[in-house]
Amino acid sequence: MLRFVLTRVSLIIPTFIGLTLLTFILVRLIPGDPIEAMAGEHGLDPARHAQLLHEYGMDRPVLVQYAFYIERVLHGDLGISAVTHAPVIQEFSTLWPATIELSTCAMLFAILVGMPAGIIAAVKRNSIFDHGVMALSLGGYSMPIFWWGLLAILLFSSLLGWTPVSGRIDVQYYIEPTTGFLLIDSWNSDDPGAFWSALSHLVLPMIVLGTQPLATIARMTRSAMLEVLGEDYIRTARAKGVPPRRVVGLHALRNALIPVVTVIGLQVGSIFTGAILTETIFSWPGVGKWLVEGIFRRDYPVLQGGVLLLGIMVMTVNLTVDLLYGVINPRIRHAR
């Protein structure tokens, strides 16, 4: 087991190097002068422009800039925002709880709805429920988040008035950010209305962000369950009189979990990618909205540091999911 863990952990090193190189290159492909973007409408004289280029190290060769960037990263320094002049790690630490709260709730929504829907669709193959789940999952997977988000706001917020349009909580409430997770902080506050306000603001962006992962998980769960339900040991268990719920819930589901867990792990990356658009549409004050603002401001340190930290979070989750394979099926860790 230790060898299996060390092998998986060692793969993070080249992935990390590739991530730093990719973010460094892509950020510099954004058109426009970051120094001019910082100056705004007032502009800069050539002498001040050259001075700022030198201060931010942008007048050096690209390879030298990358070397200094790697050196700072290895020392835990992600730079200073060119706009707010605050450390990138500090801004990220302030905003990431909002993104984690939204992403976690969206993933839980996708798992708790998608897996049961896929299991029932497999058990009731070719039924109306099965066809309905497959049709809805195909539609959910095909809808772009920005279109689905705007449509959801128009329907549920503007026309029906069921949910707020944007933000994390009504302006009438002020919650002291103890943990940064607004659901927890509002629950621990003295005002019971604050929690329901935070929950009502979370519901719609959670559903929008979780729709595509839900569709993928439902389809994969159905496919994996159909494959397992056709195995000989399932027919043997049924012939012995094992209750159907035990056959499906214990024998079939346990062996179908490997591809499902794989898909869930892969959806973490799409969740964070979708969170960027979702947070922008719903004005959710998280890392995604912060990165979009960094693009418009040409804020290189924010973009490099934010993308790198998100990438590390995705790699950590994928490593955790990979290690779970050995727990679910011990044969996997012995085969690698």
The rounded distance, in Å, linking the Cα atoms of 196 and 285 is 18
| CA 241 to each of CA 64, 119, 120, 227, 245: distance values in angstroms, whole numbers, following the listed order | 70, 21, 20, 21, 11
pLDDT at residue number 207: 93
Q: How many CA atoms lie within 13 A of 233 on its CB side?
A: 10
- Model pLDDT for residues 150-177, shown as the tens digit of each residue: 999 999 988 888 888 888 888 888 888 7
Q: How far apart are CA 118 and CA 133, in angstroms?
A: 8
Q: Which of 105, 104, 34, 108 is nearest to 65 (CA)?
A: 34
Q: What is the pLDDT of residue 105?
A: 93
pLDDT at 206: 93
Residues of the chain with pLDDT under 50: 334
| CB of 197 closer than 8 Å to CB of 170 | yes
Write down the residue that tokens 């056959």 correspond to. Answer: 247
Alpha carbon of 162 to those of 92, 175, 198, 201, 204: distances in Å? 32, 23, 14, 10, 9
* pLDDT at site 205: 93
> To the nearest 10°, the Cα dihedral for 324, 325, 330, 334?
-110
What is the average pLDDT score of the chain? 81
User: Under CATH, what is the fold of the domain 94-335?
Assistant: MetI-like fold (1.10.3720)
- Model pLDDT for residues 275-300, shown as the tens digit of each residue: 888 988 998 888 888 888 888 877 88
Q: What was the pLDDT predicted at 334? A: 47
C-alpha torsion sign, points 25, 27, 30, 36:
negative
pTM beyond 0.85, yes or no: no
